Structure 1
């Protein structure tokens, strides 16, 4: 009888453990998690959508692409942009040099040339309305954590364009021209249990980039999803024979 009671008690304890909801573990240190993925020949892929709201909501553009890493962060990128207002665009960046095909350069390149080379504009023209928060930069991520509030797997906060430019090479190269450095960006980063960022949502006053009367009182929102952290990524510059450094006016 005593053995039977002991067995029933053990079964009850096992059942209680099995039916108790598991508590979500807090994500690991995001900066350390990111640094663990910064290996040459590897990277991360992303997709994003940019919308403008205020008196209605409209889609400005969508992008998809990949970042290739080195030990310090981003070594190269390959980004395709689709916009209702312009031709499709693709920009490949290696180091501080970018090559853009399509978009605003579609009819401005000489015959036989399909890529325009320049220093800067790492995200192409699409970078002006692309994601301003790049979670693949350790210094940027550390700043966002310092300025923000981490609750569970969600990090929220606000940072100005000027503050972003100080820590983020990506931001400075993507939007080199802007109307107001004091523009505040509200951001929400979602982390995996491993501490890696799988979603970034940011928003700011539309007139922070362009002082367009039609954009007054409107807000730009960019929603990005990141997948495949640490996967193999290989990005190379286009064939030199297809590259041009001057375009027609």
Structure 2
């Protein structure tokens, strides 16, 4: 009996400590969670709206799918709606991108509906689209490092110049910019698994396109990511309908 009492007394501190340990699980690492999604033939979907301060109508909206391989983004298929009835589609597979709807028909040979370019391209929609791509591990790590984490949101600021060094997406989708010192305010929202479900960014609208109607206005882009891990299959358009362009 005496030995039993001594044994219970020795175990008491452990019994008290266990609930406290169980109530404090480690926070998910977003970069590790992202890399865990890099599986060939799988990807994630997104929807996006771009608005200009003081304007009732959207500047544009986009939706699409990203496909991964073991290293990251392998392909994407994005449709941009500028105004009702005016659309643009960009498909990127391997080392080439294909653009439909972004060029006047007169600039394409007869029977061709797609323009082919080397590398990534965002088409016209890229200039008003999301400047922050949370699907790039290096970019995501930098945003986390310089931002502030509150529960499941990360907020911070970064310049165009800094994004240009970090992000192949930004460099290719917004190849021409007016002011590299433009500051981007961003908010990333995480799921319980540590994956990014939303990115909201804003910056001075003249930072990319310095036009009179953008003076003093703010461009805000709200992107939402869903269907992480979904099977995807993005393919290049029919070669018979493609015209290769060097410009």
TM-score, normalised to structure 2's length? 0.85
Deviations for 1:165-207, whole angstroms, at most 9, x for unmatched residues?
1111111110000101111110001000100000110011110
Stretch moving more, 82-91 or 142-151: 82-91
Please say if 1:45 is aligned against 2:45: yes
C-alpha RMSD over aligned residues: 2.0
Distance across 2 between alignment mates of 1:24 and 1:224: 31
Unpaired stretches in structure 1, ≥5 consecutive residues: 1-22
Distance across 2 between alignment mates of 1:82 and 1:177: 21
Question: Do the aligned partners of residues 239 and 192 (structure 1) sit closer, same or farther apart at CA in structure 2, a change above 3 Å counting?
Answer: same
Aligned to 2:132, the other structure's residue is in SS state coil
Deviating runs (4+, > 4 A) in structure 1? 23-27
- What is the match of residue 139 of structure 1? 138
- What is the match of residue 126 of structure 1? 125
Are the aligned partners of 1:202 and 1:221 in contact in 2 as well (CA < 8 Å)?
A: yes
Question: Do the aligned partners of residues 27 and 62 (structure 1) sit closer, same or farther apart at CA in structure 2, a change above 3 Å counting?
Answer: farther
- What is the match of residue 149 of structure 2? 150
Distance across 2 between alignment mates of 1:208 and 1:180: 5
- What is the match of residue 66 of structure 1? 65
- What is the match of residue 197 of structure 1? 196
Aligned to 2:110, the other structure's residue is in SS state coil
Deviations for 1:32-75, whole angstroms, at most 9, x for unmatched residues?
0001001111111000000011x444310010001111122111
Are the aligned partners of 1:105 and 1:116 in contact in 2 as well (CA < 8 Å)?
A: no
Aligned to 1:59, the other structure's residue is in SS state coil
- What is the match of residue 161 of structure 1? 160
Aligned to 2:170, the other structure's residue is in SS state helix
Are the aligned partners of 2:98 and 2:114 in contact in 1 as well (CA < 8 Å)?
A: yes
- What is the match of residue 104 of structure 1? 103
Distance across 2 between alignment mates of 1:197 and 1:141: 9
Please say if 1:35 is aligned against 2:28: no
Aligned to 1:164, the other structure's residue is in SS state helix
Distance across 1 between alignment mates of 2:243 and 2:31: 39
Unpaired stretches in structure 2, ≥5 consecutive residues: 1-22
Distance across 2 between alignment mates of 1:190 and 1:246: 39
Stretch moving more, 84-93 or 73-82: 84-93
Are the aligned partners of 1:148 and 1:156 in contact in 2 as well (CA < 8 Å)?
A: yes
Report the Cα offset of residue 245 of structure 1.
2.2
